[in-house]
Structure 1
């Protein structure tokens, strides 16, 4: 049992770690608290059962590890510690899950290995998703113009403040907090680097598979989406818009938002008191929290998106799913390039010719990975390195485990978006790691934990990871087997100069 500032919690003790789940860090954002900044959780006196996870925040069915939910009582976090914390003040690593700001929950990412092997405290959390977390609408601003749109970010801030108040009770050091996240979680980390009200809540950051050079939504665009969604819910054009929206059943809100590509694109909103400046602008101008940074991508990021397209039947004639996935055709490859790059499509096609790849899907994935992930990542590395200690990596295991029991792609999945997560967490949804992959996992856990301990991933037992310099082109490649960890020419491998010359 541990006594938090709100009340005692009783968790679970295992051979090498302790876990505490479903700890409230804020009041349930229900009823009149829907679309308001998080409020303090109510205190309690009897020991609270912290042996089971709480419900995820309201969401539709997503990837195999995402559970659909209609719960708005979801602002809970989970704490995992080494078993022996006697007299210790360990670094705290706070994880922000991904999921396009529409899906995911904290307890998917078991922190036992990271906590036990890295001698750190691991905190995972839920935060409001979709429209419930990121709806921008003047009717929801209250007395402060521009206050709506970032409720999910404010939830994350509330969890970080909880960590600051309670870390010591679990054996953690509130003065040494690493904020890390993947995909939408990485975008959130970038937002906190730029948000004035996040200053001082963390001391190092790790961004995985999204770049801080990628702009977020501006307020005008976000409010236009918000008005459209309010109209979809029959709450537009009325002086009682806020009350009308708060009265709508959560299922109707989820249905109105739909899936990615449906027209509503949730996420942080630049402009307003929570996030006055776009994180991309903050990085470019040096107006961000000056803390050590680890930043990286997977080698084949976009293959994950193409698997999703196949799974949804988007490559099939008429966009209709079939019993077996429909592979991307050469014609569809050309059409995708035209739709994305316009008059530059011919140059991209010449740089990524179908003859150089095993399939049109692999060709498109290479082009889109380099355009949407690799170039922005290296841009961010170089900007960060001018200001703060920076360590850049690429996860490059081309045989990374896929989702267990799920039909494979029609092409090799490679080091796809999400592929590194089973190496850092007990996720439960992926095929098991091989012996070589377990060795890579051990090294990655060591790197991530050492970075949390002192802002530098190196120690005597791991291959050296050079600090990134502003003019560098090499990053630390993370792959299994002999020689799998070491410097890689990231700029050459991902045609960095080509994309800069293209102006895209």
Structure 2
């Protein structure tokens, strides 16, 4: 019913599986000569409330794990506040809390997630809790295009095994890190700019999901000492839209400054330009029309001509999500929703001038005060191209349609000319097959070139930024395959494995590889997990010197930068810059046009 392409591009990391916790009623029987299981860990928070978790003795040291800890509370489309008033007899944090509502595309789609979803998960060494050791803390924000995902994501190994991904077992047991993962509001429920419209005055510009992250960080500041963590040693990190959120905390939100000391951005769209307050308000009014239509008729394919403000509160979660799908589909059909390019994610944070003061890429050019590590993967665009080509019908005509032939944005014009499938070469670029052209366009323009250029021509050069390039071929399928018989792995077309796709570094970062992984993959995962942890421990000094992560290389004077690959690699910054067509994307064309907002202030009329 809804456009497949809208789904493909808006969700940077498709929903993972829920992890199932053991049934509390199940009783395990132990033989007399077997050791008894470790005692359930319970801690007392700073407000004297008791929190109980689960012991994990399967790693290199005993861990205490707390899943589904409620950290915040919020009414619909209102800012969240810290929640820590747990029941007097204790709060059992034994299983993941509900995800925030996930996208649905048809009235019959299963509703996944709940609006009551502000939960976090914590892994900590049991000894650190006992000794109040003040270990470094890492807080992870998941990806999903600000629209989908959760802190309980799983992934698919090559043999089909489903493996929990965002687990802190290795970070805590092997690296002595307190690891926190967080749920936060998503989609229209996390980004609707209601300020000054509904009679209520949120102080966050409608950035509810982003502000939830702040609430989680405030909870960490208040209580992480009880878990053996140090509130003064918090590093935030994330992937995809989670990495973009890290950039917003670092460069746009003054109110986040005292909540962390360093950041890691994995595969961020570093040049992305967010909507301003006026553009967010325009989107709000149009969404109201879509919500009116969804309430009247769940089967509706078009937004209504009129709107009712009170629909915001009386609508069900399902109606809200159906209206979200209507809006997204409408924007795509009108040629103004093109999330292959910067500036067009449907439901992203809003630069309101107060809560989020300015575009993060603008502030990044001025220099970052806090230590930052960021990087990208070799084949970022392949996953997106494969989802778009889920039907196997991508050709030159549909390729140009994806780039909005009817929407004459200058960047889209040069994109079609430079990357146009089966067309004469333009701007010094060579034509490629449609799928390859699309994968290259997305990977180069959205991820590789903006990341490599993030620190070029800074007003105040700094030496506390490190770059990595992840090139290890993947044996993991981060997403379920699309319904295309030619593609059983979205990280490699035509049944081919062997790309380093968007998000494929995650099992290496969390050191949570499939049991049948190669020794090379396992060794790289151990090193990358240690590398991320070392940065959290000594962010001013950077990651381990053994890995030779240097200050950001400048164009014209490139130095070595870190290539994360199991085998020796001859990749270097200068060649990578050229192979990614960065002279094209970072030239005059992109400076003038790449940050153009593709959703105009006046949305198309009915």
Q: Tell me the equivalent position of 1:203.
A: 261
User: What is the deviation of 1:248?
Assistant: 0.8
SS at match of 2:234: strand
User: What is the deviation of 1:408?
Assistant: 2.2
- 1:224-235, aligned counterparts within 5 Å? 224-234=282-292
Q: Do the aligned residues in 1 keep the contact of 2:137 with 2:180 (CA within 8 Å)?
A: yes
User: What is the deviation of 1:154?
Assistant: 0.9
Q: Do the aligned residues in 1 keep the contact of 2:290 with 2:327 (CA within 8 Å)?
A: no
Q: Do the aligned residues in 1 keep the contact of 2:104 with 2:322 (CA within 8 Å)?
A: no
Determine which of 44, 52, 56 is the counterpart of 1:3: 44
Give the direction of change, closer, same or farther, for the CA distance of 1:497–1:432 in structure 2 (3 Å limit): farther
Larger radius of gyration: 2
Give the direction of change, closer, same or farther, for the CA distance of 1:237–1:405 in structure 2 (3 Å limit): closer
Unaligned runs of 5+ in 1: 314-325
Q: Do the aligned residues in 1 keep the contact of 2:82 with 2:218 (CA within 8 Å)?
A: no
Q: Tell me the equivalent position of 1:399.
A: 474
Determine which of 95, 104, 112 is the counterpart of 1:69: 112
Q: Tell me the equivalent position of 2:65.
A: 19
Give the direction of change, closer, same or farther, for the CA distance of 1:427–1:127 in structure 2 (3 Å limit): farther
User: What is the deviation of 1:275?
Assistant: 0.7
Does 1:120 pair with 2:177?
A: yes
Q: Which stretch of structure 1 is more off in the superposition, 178-187 or 372-381?
A: 372-381
User: What is the deviation of 1:405?
Assistant: 6.8
Does 1:282 pair with 2:363?
A: yes
User: What is the deviation of 1:152?
Assistant: 0.8
User: What is the deviation of 1:174?
Assistant: 0.4
Does 1:173 pair with 2:248?
A: no
User: Distance between the aligned counterparts of 1:116 and 1:329, measured in 2?
Assistant: 49
* Per-residue deviation, residues 97-141 of structure 1 (Å, max 9, x unmatched): 110111111122111112222211110010011111100134556
Q: Which stretch of structure 1 is more off in the superposition, 483-492 or 385-394?
A: 483-492
Q: Do the aligned residues in 2 keep the contact of 1:114 with 1:424 (CA within 8 Å)?
A: no
Q: Tell me the equivalent position of 1:323.
A: none
* Per-residue deviation, residues 361-392 of structure 1 (Å, max 9, x unmatched): 22321232111211111121436782350100
SS at match of 2:456: helix
Give the direction of change, closer, same or farther, for the CA distance of 1:237–1:43 in structure 2 (3 Å limit): farther
User: What is the deviation of 1:440?
Assistant: 1.1
Determine which of 459, 465, 476 is the counterpart of 2:549: 465
User: What is the deviation of 1:451?
Assistant: 0.3
Does 1:92 pair with 2:137?
A: yes
Q: Which stretch of structure 1 is more off in the superposition, 140-149 or 103-112?
A: 140-149
Q: Do the aligned residues in 1 keep the contact of 2:237 with 2:243 (CA within 8 Å)?
A: yes
User: Distance between the aligned counterparts of 2:444 and 2:398, measured in 1?
Assistant: 19
User: What is the deviation of 1:431?
Assistant: 9.0
* Per-residue deviation, residues 145-185 of structure 1 (Å, max 9, x unmatched): 87442011110000001111111111111001001111111
Q: Tell me the equivalent position of 1:317.
A: none
Determine which of 434, 437, 462 is the counterpart of 1:387: 462
Q: Tell me the equivalent position of 2:99.
A: 56
Give the direction of change, closer, same or farther, for the CA distance of 1:158–1:405 in structure 2 (3 Å limit): closer
Q: Tell me the equivalent position of 2:437.
A: 363
Could you tell me the TM-score, scaled by structure 1's length? 0.85
Could you tell me the TM-score, scaled by structure 2's length? 0.72
Q: Do the aligned residues in 1 keep the contact of 2:474 with 2:501 (CA within 8 Å)?
A: no
Give the direction of change, closer, same or farther, for the CA distance of 1:284–1:389 in structure 2 (3 Å limit): same
Higher helix share: 1
SS at match of 1:258: helix
Q: Tell me the equivalent position of 1:424.
A: 509
